[in-house]
């Protein structure tokens, strides 16, 4: 049977709810997993989740819009979160910011046109003695300099090459 991406996602949400339980305590774990996999939580996903957990989709949206790692905006495959809190600021996060923006051609809060990178700010991520620090998805990088930004992005692009096949399968299935 051919599945559209929507149906596939709905099936995945049902499987997650089956695994984690159909009550509201499963809400944040389900949302994190959907965000990780699909890089966004759209209104359709919120509707499906609301139906499964027996809550209004507006309730789902209220939670999605509250947390920094959720949110209903589409993000790139790699979300780069640069720490902007004081210790990282004192260690030169502004220069890293400028280099990230220059190398990707986007500003903070934006996503590259090919959907691979999003630049976001993060508040203190607990690497204050080794700043400036940034997260690429779940991976932490410390003592980042404007020069190492290029290597970090290169590493992501190599990983992206592998995952590109998977995303094609989703699109054409």
Partner 1 sequence: MNAIPTYAAQTPEAGLRAALKSDRPDIISTISASGLKGRGGAGFPTAVKWNFAAAAQAARKFVICNADEGEPGTFKDRVILMEHPDLVFEGMTIAGKAVGAREGILFLRGEYAYLRGGLEAALARRRERNLLGPGILGSPLTFDIRIFMGAGAYICGEETALIECLEGFRGEPRNRPPFPVNTGFLGFPSVVNNVETLAWAACILANGAPWFRAFGTEKSTGRKIFSVSGDCRRPGVFEFPLGLTVAQLLAEVGGEDAKAVQIGGAAGQCVPAKEFGRTIAFEDIPTGGSVIVFGPRRDMLDVLRNFLEFFVDESCGQCTPCRVGNPKLLEGVRQLQAGTCSMAYLKELCALGETLQLASKCGLGQSSPNAFLSVVENFREEIMGRMAAHA
- Provide the binding-site residues for partner 1, judged by CB under 8 A: 23-29, 31-32, 53, 62-63, 66-70, 81, 84-87, 89-90, 122-131, 135, 138-140
Distance CA 128, CA 31 (A): 29
Between 10 and 31, name the residue whose CB sits nearer to partner 1.
31
The residue written with tokens 């507006």 in the block is: 58
**DSSP codes, 55-120:** S-HHHHHHHHTT-TT--SS---SEEEEEE-SHHHHHTTHHHHHHHHHHHHT--TT-B-TTS-EEEE
Distance CA 128, CA 124 (A): 8
Task: Report in angstroms how near the CB of residue 129 gets to partner 1 at its nearest.
Answer: 4
Distance CA 65, CA 62 (A): 5
Task: Report in angstroms how near the CB of residue 68 gets to partner 1 at its nearest.
Answer: 3
Between 5 and 23, name the residue whose CB sits nearer to partner 1.
23
Task: Report in angstroms how near the CB of residue 72 gets to partner 1 at its nearest.
Answer: 13
Task: Report in angstroms how near the CB of residue 170 gets to partner 1 at its nearest.
Answer: 23
Between 111 and 120, name the residue whose CB sits nearer to partner 1.
120
Between 124 and 170, name the residue whose CB sits nearer to partner 1.
124
Q: How far is CA 13 from CA 24, 72, 81, 125, 129, in A?
A: 14, 16, 26, 29, 39
Task: Report in angstroms how near the CB of residue 153 gets to partner 1 at its nearest.
Answer: 19
Between 6 and 143, name the residue whose CB sits nearer to partner 1.
143
How far does the chain reach from its first CA to its final CA, in angstroms?
9
Cβ atoms within 10 Å, residue 126: 11
């Amino acid at each position: 049977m051919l599945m559209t991406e929507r149906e596939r996602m709905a099936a995945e949400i049902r499987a997650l709810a089956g695994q984690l339980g159909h009550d509201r305590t499963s809400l944040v774990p389900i949302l994190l997993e959907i965000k990780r996999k699909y890089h966004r939580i759209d209104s359709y996903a919120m509707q499906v989740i609301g139906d499964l957990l027996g809550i209004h989709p507006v309730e789902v949206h209220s939670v999605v819009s509250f947390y920094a790692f959720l949110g209903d905006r589409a993000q790139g495959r790699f979300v780069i979160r640069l720490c902007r809190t004081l210790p990282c600021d004192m260690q030169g996060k502004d220069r890293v910011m400028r280099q990230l923006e220059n190398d990707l051609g986007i500003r903070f809060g934006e996503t590259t046109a090919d959907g691979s990178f999003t630049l976001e700010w993060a508040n203190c991520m607990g690497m204050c003695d080794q700043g400036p620090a940034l997260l690429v998805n779940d991976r932490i990088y410390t003592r980042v300099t404007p020069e190492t930004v290029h290597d970090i992005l290169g590493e992501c692009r190599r990983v992206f090459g592998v995952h590109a096949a998977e995303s094609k399968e989703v699109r054409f299935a």
